[in-house]
Amino acid sequence: MVLCPLAAAAVLLLFSTGVVGFPVGQEPHNSPGCGYKSCPATQPAMLNVHLVPHTHDDVGWLKTVDQYFYGERNYIQHAGVQYILDSVVEQLQQDPARRFIYVETAFFFRWWRQQSARMQQVVTQLVNEGRLEFVNGGWCMSDEATTHYSAVIDQMTLGLRFLNDTFGPCGRPRVAWHIDPFGHAREHASMFAQMGYDGLFFGRLDYQDKARRMKEKDMEMVWRASDSLAPPTADLFTGVLPNGYNPPQGFCWDQSCSDAPIQDDPSLEDYNVDAIVQKFLKAANDQAALYRTNHIIMTMGSDFQYENANLWYKNLDKLIRYVNALQSQGSKVNLLYSTPSCYLQELHRANLTWSVKTDDFFPYADDAHDFWTGYFTSRPALKAYERVSNSLLQVCNQLEVLGGPSSRRGPHGDGDSETLRRAVGVAQHHDAVSGTAKQHVADDYSKRLAVGSAHCQVLVSNSQSLCVSLSQVLVSNSLSKLSGSSVPRTYCEKLNVSVCPLTESSHEFSVTVYNPLSRPVTWPVRLPVNGTHYTVTRPGGSVVDSEVVPVSQATKDIRRDGGYAANELVFQATAPPMGFSTYSVSLVQNRPPPAPPLPGAPPVLENQYLRVTFDPDTGLLSGLTNLETKQTVQLKQNFYWYNASVGNTESIQPSGAYIFRPNSSTPVPVSLTAKTQALKNSVVQEVYQQFGPWVSQVVRLYEHSQELELEWTVGPVPVRDGFGKEVITRLDTNINSSGLFYTDSNGREVLERRRDFRPTWVLKQTEPIAGNYYPVNSRIYIKDQEQQLTVVTDRSQGGSSIQDGSLEIMLHRRLLVDDFRGVGEALSEPGEYGEGLVVRGRLLLALTPPSTAAETHRRLAESLVLQPLLSVQSGPLRPNTRLEFSGLQGALPPAVHLLTVSEWGEDSVLLRLEHQFQAQESAKLSQPVTVNLQKLFSTLTVVGVSEMSLAANQWKDEMTRMDWKGRTDEKPLQKERGDPSTWEVTLKPMEIRTFLLRIKR
């Protein structure tokens, strides 16, 4: 890890004085004031129009991140972020009244490092005066539908730490600014509130919702973003911007605009001051009629604008001067340069009571047939890669702490996790993991993740290449120190297609399973091999039950090049909390090959927990029984595709990267039957289902599993028939779901969904399929009084319940035309061989009583987000190798999740503990839990602790937020009890607490 500039001495002072950079909560010396102190005066008896100069700089979309920063490939889109910042800083120095806001720290960080000391001094002064203000401040402006909360918190922390370390409190944003994401998640509002933001502004909401809010002057509200956290912990003032994030029509003065400049020479034939002033006054008064105070905000900028900032500021200066000049003639309109935080401050001073919103802003539609619900699934392979990369990042963070300085400088070279941290941060952008960028940009996102997690230095030798990963070097160094073995490690990155050259060719090797969770896990290990029988030994010397099974034909078809394993070695491995276990594997000679799967009617799959039945005539699933609770549900599962609407004009809305618009509400089955083969042994039972040449599935039940695994493979999706296809799997049951289903919000709290219904307004449903799709980040379920069927996903996907008792999840999309939302190309991923993308993924099914369902699906979702990391070493285990290790003194309580363990300074660690159950979700686990911080780690001694905001850029006891009055009939809150002691911290349901620990190793 490349540490941010925080001196060791400062870290020591931190626990006694609360100092990081500038004292938190104070302004730097000799500063005229920033933040709310720097806001310009307003006119109480007038309509104050807050003009906010801004640019919206996508961290990749039509061009890659690098291309946008440098202004390359302007034939795609004219945009150069470095020139925007150059030009804005120059223009801000011309007039102290001018303001500007900036959002994307990933770009600003890069620009800042290229500036001279003199220029950095100039910019710092602008920040200290509040004239250059950062809003949002994360590494990017994240997507809200397809991002997991853990990755969002990390990328916000990354950006905000840079701003704090560079500018102190004046660099801290007060406002969350999510002007471009395509719908808004309640969990994001909850996170922003816990990070200390005073308000949130965004530009996109459903057209029906917006029309209702405009009519009722309800464009600004208090968003109560948690059912579990006591108000106002997750309350966030939220405002809807009137023009998206663009200026009013006719007032765009960028070089990319065509509106007339203000021509104020009276001798000119085209003199237009009076006309423009009157047009602006009308626009201001029209906007004011939709809002409740005598303050309105106007976003004066748009995508990649201000590359020549003089154009904007010169015309804005004139606009302010000429409009305000009319005040002497009785005008009641006052224009001023402003920022979102200054506007927010005026709304707070109004002391009004606002409406309270408790649901989210999904799905988003901008017209009757234009639902932005396709991107919930677009580019499913990238969505999975982002999730896996985030898991690897958490492992790197933990092992960097456990391994100490030797993890970065060790026997395997110099390790680094910062490249991966920034790559995962960029991947959260609302055109990255969302799948809404051009193909070459999506490839660049994948490359960045690959460089972060597998930074390759190609060494050509005997026609072979060796990849040395900086992140994997860090992991290897840490494991080398903790285990006492410096034998090189291999990381099998293509296990999903049964490729790992070391295990395929070795007769003897060891497998280390690192578990990043705070509880022990048992995980199925599947390694590609060519032998027919192996002995697997766990730490301690006892033999583990293992089996060798043939590699499936579907896997052989996918991998083509590379990998020649005929079989897979399968066994269950157990690893301790935040620790590892090492298993030794030896080939046993002279054994017959494994029995091939047997064709024919699929058998019943059964272990001590579950029974799975199939229809003998169709080969499809027919039932699922929980043997512990004696529950049985009828369950039919199949694959279908929606025929994507195809239009060649904007008047006929087609499906595309953003939009999901099927041309029929009835999906087409891939096949009514499945060809099946079955395999059973002491470790795993599997039924292979072939639905056609491009869809297959393995229904899998491990010996001790309480959940059923469905491993699906879809692609290349055929389009030669002229139809774009949106592929789903549907599970039909006899559960009486009564029009209700449930989805998670960014992997955390679960929200109730009602078909053809919105809690905020009376819905006129125009798209019965797309209009009922919601983001499924980690789980979706249906239930009745007796039983609940939960599906846990391995990536973000779109899902719904179109009929009672039914769940459907969209797995893959391949389309033929663009959907006219700017990306400019059809979503048709070519895949590795140019024939179309093949995608493989997993769904986990659990059947439980509703009252205890959360105890199952919380555990399953957690295990898919933070998967064990496998590393392999060739040859026999060395003597004195430590085979088992836990970084914790013991497993944490089942309600507690170890969200973050990350090195912060030489002797400091950032720790986040999370209560992962909602209030009333579990009678047993939705209770407060106390954890002792001094009894947490096994190899680290905690000698100091200070609590921080969720984003770790403020001390918790100094964090103050604006109070807002919401229209509710709630009783006054009772004062909450504090922690039992300095070292014992109590977590309430859905609470995340962030601590900076001073440690001794």
- pLDDT given at position 451: 87
- Average pLDDT value for residue range 85-92: 98
The per-residue pLDDT for range 90-104, each reduced to its tens digit, is 999 999 999 999 999
pLDDT-derived band at 6 (thresholds 50, 70, 90) equals: very low
- Average pLDDT value for residue range 433-441: 98
Cβ atoms of 241 and 297 closer than 8 Å: yes
Indicate if the pLDDT at residue 7 is higher than 90. no
- pLDDT given at position 30: 41
Strands 621-626 vs 631-643: parallel, antiparallel or unpaired: antiparallel
Cβ atoms of 425 and 154 closer than 8 Å: yes
The per-residue pLDDT for range 372-406, each reduced to its tens digit, is 999 999 999 999 999 999 999 999 999 999 998 87
pLDDT-derived band at 33 (thresholds 50, 70, 90) equals: confident
- Average pLDDT value for residue range 613-628: 97
Please, which residues have CB within 8 angstroms of residue 291's CB and are 6 or more apart in sequence? Answer: 217, 219, 220, 242
Measured between alpha carbons, how far is 366 from 201 in angstroms, rounded to an integer? Answer: 18
Around Cβ 980, how many Cβ atoms within 10 Å?
A: 11
- pLDDT given at position 32: 59
Around Cβ 752, how many Cβ atoms within 10 Å?
A: 11
Cβ atoms of 503 and 492 closer than 8 Å: yes
Indicate if the pLDDT at residue 449 is higher than 60. yes
- Average pLDDT value for residue range 850-863: 97
The per-residue pLDDT for range 66-80, each reduced to its tens digit, is 999 999 999 999 999
CA distances from 658 to 181, 301, 667 (A): 11, 24, 20
Query: Is the alpha carbon torsion for 532, 533, 537, 538 positive or negative?
Result: positive
Cβ atoms of 218 and 355 closer than 8 Å: yes
Whether cis (ω within 30° of 0) applies to the bond prior to 232 is: yes
pTM: 0.94
Amino acid sitting at position 890: G
Please, which residues have CB within 8 angstroms of residue 864's CB and are 6 or more apart in sequence? Answer: 778, 792, 793, 794, 842, 844
- pLDDT given at position 14: 38
3-class DSSP state for residue 930? strand
Cβ atoms of 474 and 400 closer than 8 Å: yes
Measured between alpha carbons, how far is 993 from 898 in angstroms, rounded to an integer? Answer: 10
The per-residue pLDDT for range 486-535, each reduced to its tens digit, is 899 999 988 989 999 999 999 999 999 999 999 999 999 999 999 999 99
The per-residue pLDDT for range 677-729, each reduced to its tens digit, is 999 999 999 999 999 999 999 999 999 999 999 999 999 999 999 999 999 99
Measured between alpha carbons, how far is 113 from 931 in angstroms, rounded to an integer? Answer: 41
- pLDDT given at position 967: 77
If you average pLDDT over every residue of the chain, what do you get? 92
CA distances from 546 to 274, 344, 537, 566 (A): 84, 62, 10, 17
Measured between alpha carbons, how far is 134 from 175 in angstroms, rounded to an integer? Answer: 9
Cβ atoms of 855 and 921 closer than 8 Å: no
pLDDT-derived band at 596 (thresholds 50, 70, 90) equals: confident
Count Cβ neighbours within 10 Å for each residue of 720-743 and write b for 16 or more, e otherwise.
eeebbbbbbbbbbbebebeeebbb
Count Cβ neighbours within 10 Å for each residue of 479-504 and write b for 16 or more, e otherwise.
bbbbbebbbbbbbbbebbbbbbbbbb
Count Cβ neighbours within 10 Å for each residue of 982-1000 and write b for 16 or more, e otherwise.
eeebbbbbbbbbbbbbbbe
pLDDT-derived band at 649 (thresholds 50, 70, 90) equals: low
Query: Is the alpha carbon torsion for 226, 227, 228, 230 positive or negative?
Result: positive
Residues forming beta bridges with residue 175, ordered by sequence position: 199
Give catalytic status of residue 154 as yes or no: no
- pLDDT given at position 787: 97
- pLDDT given at position 593: 83
Percent of the chain with pLDDT over 90: 85
Measured between alpha carbons, how far is 67 from 267 in angstroms, rounded to an integer? Answer: 44
With tokens 């954890």, the residue in question is 931
Indicate if the pLDDT at residue 183 is higher than 50. yes
The per-residue pLDDT for range 730-786, each reduced to its tens digit, is 999 999 999 999 999 999 999 999 999 999 999 999 999 999 999 999 999 999 999
Would you state the structure tokens that stand for residue 587, as one six-digit string? 């080939």
Would you state the structure tokens that stand for residue 115, as one six-digit string? 């500036």
Indicate if the pLDDT at residue 548 is higher than 90. yes
Indicate if the pLDDT at residue 590 is higher than 90. no
- Residue of 178, 146, 147, 173 lying closest to 162 (CA atoms): 173
pLDDT-derived band at 216 (thresholds 50, 70, 90) equals: very high
Cβ atoms of 386 and 431 closer than 8 Å: no
Residues forming beta bridges with residue 986, ordered by sequence position: 930
Amino acid sitting at position 919: A
3-class DSSP state for residue 90? helix
Amino acid sitting at position 689: Q
Query: Is the alpha carbon torsion for 716, 720, 726, 728 positive or negative?
Result: negative
- Average pLDDT value for residue range 931-945: 95
Measured between alpha carbons, how far is 649 from 182 in angstroms, rounded to an integer? Answer: 22
Amino acid sitting at position 134: F
Amino acid sitting at position 780: I
Q: Which of 58, 143, 180, 784 is catalytic?
A: 180
The per-residue pLDDT for range 804-850, each reduced to its tens digit, is 999 999 999 999 999 999 999 999 999 988 999 999 999 999 999 99
Would you state the structure tokens that stand for residue 286, as one six-digit string? 């029209």
Measured between alpha carbons, how far is 142 from 796 in angstroms, rounded to an integer? Answer: 14
Indicate if the pLDDT at residue 629 is higher than 90. yes
The per-residue pLDDT for range 321-363, each reduced to its tens digit, is 999 999 999 999 999 999 999 999 999 999 999 999 999 999 9
More confident: 74 or 589: 74
- pLDDT given at position 865: 96
The per-residue pLDDT for range 728-746, each reduced to its tens digit, is 999 999 999 999 999 999 9
DSSP 70: H
Around Cβ 456, how many Cβ atoms within 10 Å?
A: 13
Indicate if the pLDDT at residue 19 is higher than 90. no
- Residue of 493, 510, 490, 665 lying closest to 573 (CA atoms): 510
Indicate if the pLDDT at residue 971 is higher than 90. no
Around Cβ 648, how many Cβ atoms within 10 Å?
A: 9
- pLDDT given at position 982: 85
Burial of residue 747 (number of CB atoms within 10 Å: 0-12, 13-18, 19+): buried
pLDDT-derived band at 974 (thresholds 50, 70, 90) equals: low
Amino acid sitting at position 198: D
The per-residue pLDDT for range 908-925, each reduced to its tens digit, is 999 999 999 999 999 999
Q: Per mean pLDDT, which range of 414-418, 492-496, 935-939 is the poorest?
A: 414-418
Q: Phi and psi for 6 in degrees, rounded to 5?
A: -130, 105
With tokens 């939302």, the residue in question is 821
Helices (H) and strands (E) in the chain, counts: 18, 50
pLDDT-derived band at 472 (thresholds 50, 70, 90) equals: confident
- pLDDT given at position 648: 64
Percent of the chain with pLDDT over 70: 93
- pLDDT given at position 559: 79
Burial of residue 382 (number of CB atoms within 10 Å: 0-12, 13-18, 19+): buried
Cβ atoms of 155 and 104 closer than 8 Å: no
Helix 380-403 crosses helix 470-483 at what angle (to 10 degrees)? 40
